[in-house]
Amino acid sequence: MTGRRPSSTRNRIAPVSHIRTAAVLLSAALVAGCGLVPGDAKSAGDRPVTVMTWAPEKTRATNMPGVPAMARAYARWINAHGGIGGRTLKVLTCNDHNDSVDAARCARSAVEHDAAAVVGSYSQHANAFLPPLESAGIPYIGGYGATEAEFTSPLSYPVNGGQAALLAGNGRQLSGPCARTVLIRPDSIAGDQLAPLLNSGLALRHRPATVDVLAADDATDYADQARRALDTASRAPQGEGCVAAVLGERTNTFFDSFRRLREDYPSVRTATVLGSVDQTVVDRTGGPESPYEGAYVTSWYPASGDARWDPMKRAINEQAFGDNRIDPADAGVQTTWIAYEVLRQIIESAGDGAVTARTVRTALDDDVKVTTGGLTPPLRWGYDHMSPVGDFPRLVNARVTFQKVVSGRLTATRKSSVDVTGTLAGLS
């Protein structure tokens, strides 16, 4: 979930996927590494709205194929129901390969195609993709929150609290049961931010700072890190030790190593966050017999079985049934759905007017109130709703939910969400 330390980059052309448009756009998309899905709306006339969604696919580290797949499915779904205010939604997609050069290339492609917004995307390279968007005035709606820059750029309109809220929330969740917490996190620039965030939540009950264990985010075995974590956590006062792993896709690899070793140590509690685990991962690794059984999990959103996700699931069933890239329990898929619902309401607020990057940005800045069916609190990005958290001024939704894996199911441990704005403000 977090970016690697700077390394040499390679000039690559991202693969083209799911292209169904005219030859001129096809040629441009091949150059930019992007695909275009126009959808099927018949009542949209000649007023299409073009947007872009990007994410890494087929890399050795974090992959988010469900993000562009959900964006394409949303376009087909909304267009099959008349489009957005009578306009066809056209979705460009791009693969950033977890690479800063390709992330910048995706952003330049959005500019070249005159995109009205970049929506529901995931990238670890905000410093590469935000400058081209900012220069062109293209808003970035509902990015995953993988980077701090997404909460500082005036062109970013996040729908969740990103890694900051998850880690601060996880610290609060663990501040009760854990006398000592060991954090397994990526050895990366973005990973360096995680321990202070987790500690901000642990400090709520004056728990000691976490023990920070670094790990490569593309390793195939984490036996050394698991052994260090168990050695430390199992010697916690009163035996209340916890191991929190936040390694994105590699979290499962860590817990596989952890499971093989934990029987040799006294019992410790485990924890992680949304994006490092979801219901599908729990199911795939054994359900009630999974190494995640009993783990504390902090999420941005309600558990995947919550009825508030039903509209998204109906859209998936209608337009993407059988597409195994789109998992309704995946945080990237969920965030993309929410981001496109934001886009829909923003465009509808424009009435019959033109929809451009400028008009979308103006509506967002003018404090249009967006609702998401209870998946988030009402969202507004006007000046009066900016965050008091100095390092995260664009953080308009710092709410998280506390869950636990019980009998193989992610289950809410409290009815209401928790606002960690105050916790994060303590870091400023």
Q: Kindly give the confidence (pLDDT) of every residue in the chain, 428 residues in length, as a single tens digit, with 9 standing for 90 and above.
A: 444 444 333 333 334 333 333 333 333 443 344 554 544 444 444 579 999 999 999 998 789 999 999 999 999 999 999 999 999 999 999 999 999 999 999 999 999 999 999 999 999 999 999 999 999 999 999 999 988 899 999 999 999 999 999 999 999 999 999 999 999 999 987 788 899 999 999 998 889 889 999 999 889 999 999 999 999 999 988 779 999 999 988 999 999 999 999 999 999 999 999 989 988 899 999 999 999 999 999 999 999 999 999 999 999 999 999 999 999 999 999 999 999 999 999 999 988 888 999 999 999 999 899 999 999 999 999 988 888 888 899 999 999 999 999 999 999 999 899 999 999 987 76
Is 94 in contact with 118 (CB distance < 8 Å)? no
**Closest-CA residue to 183 (of 161, 217, 209):** 209
Calpha distance 300→148 (Å, rounded): 16
| Per-residue pLDDT at 32 | 40
Calpha distance 383→19 (Å, rounded): 39
One-letter amino acid at 417 equals: S
Other beta carbons less than 10 A from residue 196's beta carbon: 16
- Sequence-distant (6+) residues with CB within 8 A of 387 are 151, 393, 394, 395, 396, 398, 421
